[in-house]
Amino acid sequence: MTKIVNHWIGGKTVEGASGTHGPVTDPATGEVTTKVAFASVDEVDAAVAAAKEAFATWGQSSLAQRTSILFRFRALLDAHRDEIAELITAEHGKVHSDALGEVARGLEIVDLACGISVQLKGELSTQVASRVDVSSIRQPLGVVAGITPFNFPAMVPMWMFPLAIACGNTFVLKPSEKDPSASVKLAELLAEAGLPDGVFNVVHGDKVAVDRLLEHPDVKAVSFVGSTPIARYIHTTASANGKRVQALGGAKNHMLVLPDADLDAAADAAVSAAYGSAGERCMAISAVVAVGAIGDELVEKIRERAEKIKIGPGSDPASEMGPLITKVHRDKVATYVEGAAAEGAEVVLDGSAYTYEGAGFENGHWIGISLLDKVPTSAKAYQDEIFGPVLCVLRTETYEEALDIVNASPFGNGTAIFTRDGGAARRFQLEVEAGMVGVNVPIPVPVGYHSFGGWKDSLFGDHHIYGNDGTHFYTRGKVVTTRWPDPADAPAGVDLGFPRNH
């Protein structure tokens, strides 16, 4: 029987009333296993109304009440790691260990939210003028929305809602329609942890649901993570509707390898970062820039390692890389490899025709490993975010040429440099145009207490996600100026001049 995933509104499961559903496919088998309800405008309105009603009390709740619920949620999340990872693998296709990794990184943000009291401490200046004190406080916004991509169905929502609700907001999540089950599990765990009804809601769906959130007058802020064209649209539309917006987009992450680098370490890192999660990560390394004479040796080391990657169902502990999310996406990724030679690249490994041999898995969205060398910057395989297991290697003579390539990219999410030269690494950190930089670290996803975000077409809006930026995004400032006159003071009298401090 086909499983049905419903909305979560006001603390309970709500069946989709619109009658519209979308298919959820197991990428390893190609079978539709689940139907997910698609919300109508009325259903989104019901979720926002539940969140608005809950805000009346949640926004006034004490920090101790909020954090004690988050501590309980953290314990439940920890206890249900495997179950959540299994839901992710069944709908996304990534291998179980990788799915566990995303739950662990989401849990880091819950850790941060458990300590929200420290971040919300505020500031006080005493005696700024005679018997006058000034305090700065931050208050929640109200109902906030999150719209999330398919590639991290548990982690990316957890980049958003733990901090949002810790700050006193209530939340409406619109997760990816391609792998919706993990978000419902998170909602159930939040309820079990004691979160009051309506503080966290999930509406599933497509553009209809998203557009309603973007225009709804009671939604005060929108956090988005997804592809660049949709991020740009979300930023423009929600901003035009007067909302605070952070919209994180796509990426093309470069890894520079300087001639003095440890080439074995660099090759290990490039292979892990390019092919992990089948390249469906916004922090995947998709372009290696080999500087100087090391190019041939580096490509050979990458090839040797890449060839050994075990591709198979995410549920098989022997698999290192699973299938792609949809058949359409699989076929699109293949076209980049098929067209690469005509665009001037050398095809070192061609995984475009790969298929996994195994009964029951014939219709999975399989693709193999591809490695393209000497890729010109004009090639589509270089210019586009492929979001698949295709690594482009570019060659340059100098560091400066390599830096120019990275900085000419419209994307600026993550980047890395591999070198033993501290001076060169330091120069790169300062000169590169990207939001997250790794020095001998290929996937520099920041820890929860720093913040995550790119530059250029990888982020629209002023705030990175989580860290101090997250707290700032989900609160607004208020400054209170107070005077308690001494009874012995002479009356101030009327003074129409602009207030001065003395």
Q: Does 207 bind ligand NAD (CB under 6 A)?
A: yes
Q: Does 213 bind ligand NAD (CB under 6 A)?
A: no
Ordered DSSP codes for 77-92: HHHTHHHHHHHHHHHH
Q: Which residues of 335-349 are buried (b: 16+ CB within 10 A; e: fewer)?
A: ebbeebeebebebbb
Tell which one of 50, 143, 147, 165 touches ligand NAD (CB under 6 A): 147
Strands 123-129 and 31-37: unpaired
CB of 307 to ligand NAD, least distance (A): 26
When the beta carbons of 71 and 455 are compared against ligand NAD, the nearer one is 455
Give the binding-site size for ligand NAD (rule: CB under 6 A). 27
**Residues 207, 178 contacting (CB under 8 angstroms):** no
Of 67-75, 95-103, 150-158, 215-223, the window that binds ligand NAD (rule: CB under 6 A) is 150-158
Q: How far apart are CA 317 and CA 364, in angstroms?
A: 17
Tell which one of 144, 182, 282, 386 touches ligand NAD (CB under 6 A): 282
When the beta carbons of 183 and 471 are compared against ligand NAD, the nearer one is 183
φ, ψ dihedrals at 37, nearest 5°: -65, 140
Of 32-40, 76-84, 174-182, 400-408, the window that binds ligand NAD (rule: CB under 6 A) is 174-182
Q: How far apart are CA 57 and CA 278, in angstroms?
A: 44
When the beta carbons of 140 and 146 are compared against ligand NAD, the nearer one is 146
When the beta carbons of 7 and 395 are compared against ligand NAD, the nearer one is 7
Catalytic (active site) residue 167: no
**Residues 257, 298 contacting (CB under 8 angstroms):** yes
Q: Does 450 bind ligand NAD (CB under 6 A)?
A: no
What's 449's DSSP letter?
T
Residues contacting 252, CB < 8 A, separation 6+: 286, 287, 382, 383, 384, 385, 409, 411, 413
Tell which one of 251, 309, 392, 443 touches ligand NAD (CB under 6 A): 251
Rg (CA), the chain: 25
Site for ligand NAD in 346-385 (CB under 6 A): 385
**Residues 189, 162 contacting (CB under 8 angstroms):** no
List the structure tokens of 242: 């007067």
Q: Does 226 bind ligand NAD (CB under 6 A)?
A: yes
When the beta carbons of 189 and 209 are compared against ligand NAD, the nearer one is 209
Q: Does 413 bind ligand NAD (CB under 6 A)?
A: yes
Q: Which residues are catalytic?
A: 282
Which residues sit at the interface with ligand NAD, rule CB under 6 A?
147-152, 156, 174, 176-177, 206-207, 210, 225-227, 230, 248-251, 282, 385, 387, 413, 454, 458
